[in-house]
Amino acid sequence: MKNLKDIAKAAEVSSITVSRVINTPDKVKPETKRRVEKILCDMGYTPNMAAKNLVSKRTGVIDVYVPEDIDLHSPFIMHFIAGISEVLSEELYSFLIKRSWKRNHSCDGYIVMGLLTEEIHDFYSRAQEKNLPVVLFGHTDIEEIACFDVDNLLGALIATNHLIQMGHRNIALINTDENKDYTVDRLQGYKNALSAAGLAFNPDLTIRTKNTVHGGNLGMKALMARGGFTAVFCVTDLMAIGVMNALYETGMRIPEDMSIVGFDGLGFHHLTNPLLTTIRQPVFEIGKKLARLITRRIQEGNERITGFLPPELLPGKSVKLIL
């Protein structure tokens, strides 16, 4: 097995420089770092991660915080964790999914999602006490937190515009009753699309309900009692399934009698008949970006990075063209 002296000799540098490339790469000139890393790769050198973490006083563990009220079996979480895992495995980090912050243990930083505004401030205060970095799936006014989020406003705009372009003028909205940013953003995107098309916002065509199949079912039945619409934008695919069930229970056809657009595009839309038209969230990609962010913040410091990733329309068979 090759050792540090062998690597140093091949790269024409000192053993100390090789050690710095492995343990504290930010302290090495980029050109030297690239040369040593190539030799490490060519010679098949595998660093001792336990020793590396001991030198750097790190654990090699990232905590991924997912609140207890979020189902770990959901496609959303599975895509998110898969993105995180792909990057952290490349960086030789392990991760632990935490459901509560009441039990403490040692880690190098946090990837956080699903928090309310006040919870984000509370979590960040706890992380500050340990001097650990935090990256967030979402957005926040705390400048020290790096974050990425889905552009929910744009996604709702795309969904509503699609219905408008298909000839619909009376479009209902079924939103979740959760007190979270995405519910506000998707409502605003819906309103913006109506306004841009010269259509009035009608609060009687909007309803808030539980983000479940049953919630979507109840919400749709409440809207049908009011009437006056030809299409529904559901802010989650899960609720859209409930909406479709409610329509079938009353003998209505999709899309002949009612058009439906969902939001998620993470798997549930493949379970519907007809295939649900939906908005795909780039959740896997955000998981990867946040994993890269947390490792950079651990190694290089607290650079402020934020961004919104655009969702995309996945056309299905649940929207009828009105001529």
pLDDT per residue as tens digits for the range 166-222: 999 999 999 999 888 899 999 999 999 999 999 999 999 999 999 999 999 999 999
Q: Which pTM was predicted?
A: 0.80
Whether domain 61-151+283-311 has CATH 3.40.50.1220: no
Please state, rounded to an integer, the average pLDDT across all residues of the chain: 89
Confidence of residue 30 (pLDDT cuts 50, 70, 90): confident
Domain range summary for the chain, segments of one domain joined by +: 4-56, 61-151+283-311, 152-280
Same fold, 61-151+283-311 and 152-280: yes
Give the up-direction half-sphere exposure of residue 90: CA atoms within 13 A in the CB hemisphere. Answer: 9
Residue 258 has pLDDT above 90, yes or no: yes
| CA distances in angstroms from 228 to 60, 171, 172, 241, listed in the order given | 57, 9, 9, 21
Q: What is the pLDDT of residues 133-163, one digit of tens each?
A: 999 999 888 888 889 999 999 999 999 999 9
Please name the amino acid found at residue 183.
Answer: T
pLDDT value for 57: 57
CA gap 184, 196 in Å, rounded: 18
Range in 28-32, 50-54, 107-111 with the lowest mean pLDDT: 50-54
Domain spanning 4-56: CATH superfamily: lambda repressor-like DNA-binding domains (1.10.260.40)
pLDDT value for 252: 96
Mean predicted confidence (pLDDT) in 257-266: 97
pLDDT value for 50: 45
Look up the CATH number of domain 152-280.
3.40.50.2300
